[in-house]
Amino acid sequence: MHIPDGFLANDVAVACAIPAIGAVGYGLRRAEVDLDDRRVPLLGVTAAFVFAAQMLNFPVAGGTSGHFLGAALAAILLGPWLACLVLAVVLFVQAFVFADGGVTALGAAVFNMGVIGGVLVGGLMLAVRKTLPTSRGALLGVAAGGAWLAVMAGAAACSLELAISGTVPLATVLPAMLAVHAIIGAGEAVITVAAVSAVLATRPDLIHGPAPAPAAAILTNPAVS
Amino acid sequence: MRKRISIRLFTILAVAVAVGLATAVSPYASSSPDGLEKVAGDKAFLEQGTLHAVQEQSPVPDYAVPGVDDPRVATGLAGFAGTLGVFALGFGIATVARGGQLRAG
């Protein structure tokens, strides 16, 4: 879902860049609160995993491929704002080193693939934590459902931006984007659940949240390494 | 109760998984257009896409290290270097944003 330059009108690109810059800037300011000693390497680890997994295009129907986006996973591990920062780092490197995704469209890419999913899944985490008893099942449910929704919401936003730019009518692009991303979102859900499960099995305390993290409270003893 | 692994070991394992995937699996990833590219092609706006001037000088355009004949090796090398580079950048930004200084270990 990397929008190249030329797809978006300049005013649309700017309108998307403003919330993207705001979210990433807020993520940087939140770093002092959200990043304890354990999460400093975790931000690098998450960015590296998202970058690597984004290279792994898997085939979906009809000569199309999809790839992991990663905002849901990043939000579960680091919270919504640092998730925006992680996706911004990945998309910046992709645009400037690998010529993948536009430069003027970079703000829109961060918005669609980072901010929307990060805030959505961060909000879901908060809602589930407030309403359900903390459990591994609830967390993995948020991981699966949140990942799918993040991809769909990003695809819808991308469609809307293309339509407002006058590139393609909304009635043409929105159904097509949602149809293909409904399948890609299932892949996103599988990878997100697998990655969260791997973290739960090794360092459940790394799941983001005001202590105690939901799974950590159940799966581990309070000993801190 | 499972014994937790140290953060150092977690970091090393996770980066190793990421580097392994980007190096060894990415050369075999699907080369079909992704969702947006496919829709852009079907709905006839793909050709509106342009490459920004700074991207003409991209060091590793399209995830293939230039000058490597075997396309799979070129992609694997791009994945290897890119993943380590993104890790270093993320780690560095996190360290600086937290108000600490970059320090070894």
Q: What pLDDT, in 10s, does the model give residues A92-108?
A: 999 999 999 999 999 99
Over residues B28-66, the pLDDT tens digits come to: 999 999 999 999 999 999 999 999 999 999 999 999 999
Window A:71-100, CB contacts with B under 8 Å: 85-86, 89-90, 93, 95-100
Secondary structure of residue A66 in the 3-state scheme: strand
Contact A166, A144 (CB under 8 A): no
CA gyration radius, chain B: 18
What pTM does this model have?
0.92
Higher pLDDT, B3 or A197: A197
Cβ atoms within 10 A of the Cβ of B21, count? 20
The enclosing H or E element of B78 equals: helix B71-97
Tokens found for residue A4: 């190249």
* ipTM of predicted complex: 0.93
User: Kind and range of the H or E element at B63?
Assistant: none
Q: Under an 8 A CB cutoff, do A49 and B18 touch? A: yes
Q: Is B68 an interface residue toward A (CB < 8 Å)?
A: no
* Predicted confidence band of residue A71 (pLDDT cuts 50, 70, 90): very high
